[in-house]
Amino acid sequence: MAPTILAAASTGELIAAGLTLLLALVLVIVVHRAMGGRGARLVESLGGGGLRPVLDTRLRFLRRAVEAFIVVVGVALAIAQFTDLDRLAGTVLASSALAAAVVGFASRQVLANAIAGVVLAVTQPLRIGDVVTFEDQTGTVEDVTLTYTWLRTGSDARTIIPNERLAAGVLRNDSIRSPTVGLEVTLLLSPEADEAAAVALLGSLADSDDVRIADVTEQALKVVVAGPAVAPPERHAREAALRAAALRALREAGIPRAGSSA
């Protein structure tokens, strides 16, 4: 169908469609530069400092939304230049209900991710640069696109999360309200363990500010060791060090952990 229409199209129609697409491309480039580097610098100068995560997230999302809108409108205007498409349009309109159902079903996931991206950009449970944990995946928010959110993990890998899942899931954000976050390590001790000795021992660790017994079951004693506040990017490394020190101290003192044979 498409080759037939292009073959039947006049030179004027082809030129008009090409110019329309070229204009759309130029507008996308202009918007990208204006709302990208120049827009960020303008906001920084008006704010008297660096670009805040809230504005950075919204500016990136708005730029991509505008670019996508320009592309869609540009393609639609380019197609409208071909008069022979009128017959094709009439055929499509005759079966519009079926076409709408098929397109809607096929694009449901994409539209859901895009709508969720708008919700995330407005409510901002996470922002560019935040350290977050989602479904056991922890990393720094690197980008929030129209459909996906990118996390940079501690190993410099990238975790890409669909916006729909992110908007509907439980998200831990360690840097949204405070520049620091406290350390917290959970240990499971054997029910036969001396809880007083364990609390005293764990309280003597270098990074231990508070030790409490969080829960007691037939299978284990749940002990939480809290540490000092650190910058969010340092939390996992410091918690790993505190956990290792606690396990080493328990093992040397002969205090059994849950599931151990000691």
Q: How confident is residue 262, by pLDDT bands cut at 50, 70 and 90?
A: very low
Characterise 34 by phi-psi region: left (phi > 0), alpha (psi -120 to 50), beta (else).
Answer: alpha
Residue 149 DSSP code: E
Contact 211, 249 (CB under 8 A): no
Nearest-angstrom CA–CA distance, 106 and 216: 50
Nearest-angstrom CA–CA distance, 255 and 262: 8
State the fold for domain 121-173: SH3 type barrels. (2.30.30)
State the fold for domain 181-253: Alpha-Beta Plaits (3.30.70)
Mean pLDDT computed over 87-109? 55
Whether the pLDDT of residue 159 is over 80: the answer is yes
Question: pLDDT tens digits, residue range 10-25?
Answer: 677 778 888 888 888 8
Contact 143, 149 (CB under 8 A): yes
Distance of CA 249 to the CA centre of its chain: 38
Task: Say what the pTM is.
Answer: 0.54
The three-state secondary structure class of 223 is: strand
